[in-house]
Structure 1
Amino acid sequence: MQQVTVLGTGVLGSQIIFQSAYSGKDVVAYDISDEIIAKLPERWEQLKPLYLRDLPDATPDKLDAAVSRIRATSDLADAVADADIVIEAVPERLDIKRDTWQKVSAAAPEKTIFATNSSTLLPSDIVSAVDRPSKFLALHFANEIWRNNTGEVMAQDQTDPEIFEQVAVFAEEIGMIAIRVKKEQPGYVVNSLLVPLLDAAADLWVRGVADIETIDLTWRTATGAPVGPFQMLDVIGMMTPYNLGKDSENPVKREFAERLKTEYIDKGYLGVATGRGFYEYGA
């Protein structure tokens, strides 16, 4: 799978694009508008120093070569025309994902394998929107994928086992440790462990039990973890927890989403990627 198309250029989508190109793949980056596409070169410049910081084999020449293997477009048919694999990283809403996959199904060649990077939705929730269920599954990445390099591969009932294994091998080719998830699980392995922590942190803050800094300090000090839950949320970005919580049946999750919107999102504080979230970050 040499020809890779990534749908969505947000925090995680842009990382998947860059990591795939860094690993030698030819990558098409798709998003819905030329205005979004025009901002991608700035994103690559933000990622380069992180690779230099964290990866011993990273060099300026290698990073420039990665950028040269990325082509961006807002034309969906053009984006998927020669794709060996399409990885979808659009907002975490079932209606958006289903609509996206219906359009991709109509445009992609028969050879193309479809993978969703959905964090909480199951591939079986989405599969009826695709025209090739045997070639549809989930491939989920953790944030900062160049160093938190897990690629969780999860099938649905109709996925061809051979396709499952091909995607696991692809994950390894782009520098991931392939995590073969044996059955469908909301949140895969990593988020099944992580989300309860983040939910507990949000609950403590919303109910006024402790402030953000104290919650993070407590977690770091008591467990030896390098970052606390709100620092993790800054890496994830505000939009994912907002989209997950705004229509929740849980009133605390809804209030958390509303506070994210009014206190952070509406002010442009979206997390590390924008230089400010719960905390401020330098360039």
Structure 2
Amino acid sequence: MHQSWTPPQNYRNRPVVILGAGVLGRRIGCIWASAGFDVRLRDPSDQQREDGLAYIRENVASYAKGSEDRIGTAQAFERIEDALADAWLVIEAVPEKIQLKIDTFAQLDIQAPNDCILASNSSSYRSSEMLEKVSESTRKRILNMHYYMPPQCMVVELMTDGYTEEGIFSFLVERCKEGNTLPFIARKESTGFIFNRLWAAVKRETLSILAEGVSVPEEIDTLWTEMFINGRSTPCKMMDQVGLDTVAFIESHYVQERGISSENTVDYLTQNYIKHGKLGTKSSQGGLYPPVKSQTTDDSENSPLIVLDLGLSAASPTMTSGSVLELSTDGKHMKTLVENQSLPDGVAVDPHTNRVFWTNMGIPGKNDGSVLVFDRQENTTKELVSKSSINTPKQLALDTVANKIYFCDREGLSVYRCNFDGSQLEKIVQAGNPNDSKEAADARNWCVGITVAPKLGKFYWTQKGPSKSGQGRIFSANISLPADQSLASRTDIECIIDGLPEPIDLEIDETSCFLYWTDRGEIPYGNSLNRLQLDKSGNAFHTSTGDTHNFKVLSRHFNEAIGLKLDTKNNTIYVTDLGGNIYRCDLNGENKSVLHFDKLRAFTGIAF
């Protein structure tokens, strides 16, 4: 009788061992430490061990996504036998040399605890290829466990070695989720796992297109961006939309022209779908996906907008007549959430709790700015960063991965961040000395707009320059301060683009690497909505002359454009201006319309 698999005893109090402290090994270790497990890095190199531990210390809090109280410890070992003592999970991340991996698992077979799960991070080799020197009983505890490149990509793929106990997969899926990773299980052994096989096919056909002279790299990448990134198409859903019978017809032509097998394409579709009437979205039987009874738009389309009114266009304006407002997405219904605010400017909403965070500028030039939060469920307002701590806080953005608030301080010539509860307030950019009258008066040092890109590991901010001057700039820096550098000495700050009329608020679409901003400067480029394509690492594209002025003006003719919010899932951008307008348009700037207008309002920040 088959006996069900039992998890490693007392695994919560036993270490996770990573063999190899290189770029990926240390990141895997960081994931498990962020989930509360004690981690041991094993590497024969002193430098790799030292660098691996440093990486975990500096980054584990951001991996933990607000659960810093459960973070585990990290140690490094030179001898593998010392690292393996009492381990419940071992993940090998040694160089991709098959004989090295065979010998590693032979050693693990002998030295690892007999209930320890043994995993290979290899993407090139199946774990079944590493079993040459492994006993029959140990093979049941071995599998592939392939990570990509956290924290930008938190996917992990699990795959059997052909003998792996079934219960191990459900157990590891739950443990992986504790480390904020997204696990996928390959149903059977496959060289290259799931994603790598997808990428292999795309890569192979792309190279064929280039080799045959059908297209050029720039056109291929642009098509891919428009179809699969901006268009948000996915392979299986796209085939369902085209129709599986049409897909089979097209594939039949390729089969004939190229002389390839139809087994895994036309024959597979015909036998499993088409002959059963499963043709895709046009069929009541569905297709690759089950039939969908009703199609609805993304929930964000029906979520109310949160907007800030500066208060200075009111019938009887004062320095404390600002408001936090809620607006229905049809623009017809507005209600006040919080009133009597001192020049509110930047706003963001935590999607997990619906709490509303915003900044109050106070009186510019005085240290009386503040950051506040409104709890919609409890109907309470709390000051997170108190007056006297900051000067003139402007736009605000949330890092919901690390639970951090980012905001600019205009007259403070700086960028700050803090925890969602206001603790650990830290200055992360100092653009000038606010105590030097000349530097303080130089608007080129005034930090205004802010956005954060956790997947790219960067944040971006604007320094607007004097009004209508054409001296505005956008900068970026790493979320993690470079090792051995300070606020004053950090070298990772990059000017993304300069020579702008007067850039204000920022938003980034991390999927497409498009950076958007509003500009309240002089026409023809001011009072506009703009977009700049960044590279896949979130850096600026530079021409041979170093020029980055290849941005696109998406829309113009705003009235002192300020606030900006992207709704990429619904192909929508919202923009506010000081003239009392709230606009919306498509992501490409087309179909611009006024959603709401009130001449007694001056709208600044916007969120949903």
Both structures adopt the same fold (TM-score exceeding 0.5): yes
Alignment correspondent of 2:122: 118
Distance, in Å, in 2 between the alignment partners of 1:147 and 1:280 is: 10
Cα-to-partner distance string for 1:28-84 (whole Å, 9 max, x where unaligned): 1111222211222443366469x37xx8x348xx29x74x61111111001111110
Distance, in Å, in 1 between the alignment partners of 2:74 and 2:230 is: 35
Distance, in Å, in 1 between the alignment partners of 2:100 and 2:132 is: 14
Change (3 A) 1:172 1:34: same
- Report the residue type matching 1:141 in the other structure: Y
Aligned residues: 223
Distance, in Å, in 2 between the alignment partners of 1:187 and 1:159 is: 18
- Report the residue type matching 2:121 in the other structure: N
Q: CA RMSD in A?
A: 3.5
Cα drift, residue 154 of structure 1: 1.2
The answer to which structure has the higher strand fraction is 2
Structure scoring higher RCO (CA < 8 A, sep ≥ 6) equals 1
Change (3 A) 1:218 1:98: same
SS in 1 for 2:193: coil
Structure 1: 4+ residue segments shifted above 6 A: 202-209, 278-282
Alignment correspondent of 2:228: 223
Alignment correspondent of 2:46: 34
Query: 1:190 pairs with 185, 191, 195, which one?
Result: 195
Is the CA contact 2:30–2:60 (under 8 Å) kept in the aligned structure 1?
Answer: no
- Report the residue type matching 1:111 in the other structure: D
Distance, in Å, in 1 between the alignment partners of 2:33 and 2:221 is: 34
Mind listing any 5+ residue stretches in structure 2 that lack a counterpart? Answer: 1-10, 232-491, 493-534, 540-608
Query: Are 1:77 and 2:81 counterparts?
Result: yes
Distance, in Å, in 1 between the alignment partners of 2:18 and 2:57 is: 19
Q: Which segment drifts farther, 217-226 or 182-191?
A: 217-226
SS in 2 for 1:39: helix
Cα drift, residue 110 of structure 1: 1.2
Query: 1:151 pairs with 151, 156, 166, which one?
Result: 156
Query: Are 1:93 and 2:97 counterparts?
Result: yes
Query: Are 1:102 and 2:106 counterparts?
Result: yes
Alignment correspondent of 1:236: none
- Report the residue type matching 2:17 in the other structure: T
Distance, in Å, in 1 between the alignment partners of 2:171 and 2:60 is: 29
Alignment correspondent of 1:135: 141
Cα drift, residue 25 of structure 1: 0.8
Change (3 A) 1:172 1:281: closer
Change (3 A) 1:112 1:223: same
Please give the residue correspondences for 1:48-87 in structure 2 after superposition, counting only pairs within 5 Å. Answer: 51=62, 57-58=65-66, 62=68, 66=71, 69-87=73-91
- Report the residue type matching 2:155 in the other structure: T
SS in 2 for 1:36: helix
Distance, in Å, in 1 between the alignment partners of 2:216 and 2:228 is: 18
Distance, in Å, in 2 between the alignment partners of 1:143 and 1:225 is: 23
Cα drift, residue 210 of structure 1: 4.9
Cα drift, residue 169 of structure 1: 2.9
SS in 2 for 1:178: strand
Distance, in Å, in 1 between the alignment partners of 2:25 and 2:212 is: 33
Distance, in Å, in 1 between the alignment partners of 2:74 and 2:219 is: 42
Please give the residue correspondences for 1:162-201 in structure 2 after superposition, counting only pairs within 5 Å. Answer: 162-199=167-204
Is the CA contact 1:8–1:30 (under 8 Å) kept in the aligned structure 2?
Answer: yes
* Higher Cα radius of gyration: 2
Cα drift, residue 24 of structure 1: 0.5
Cα drift, residue 279 of structure 1: 8.9
- Report the residue type matching 1:162 in the other structure: G
Q: TM-score, normalised by structure 1?
A: 0.65
Cα drift, residue 162 of structure 1: 2.4
Change (3 A) 1:90 1:225: farther
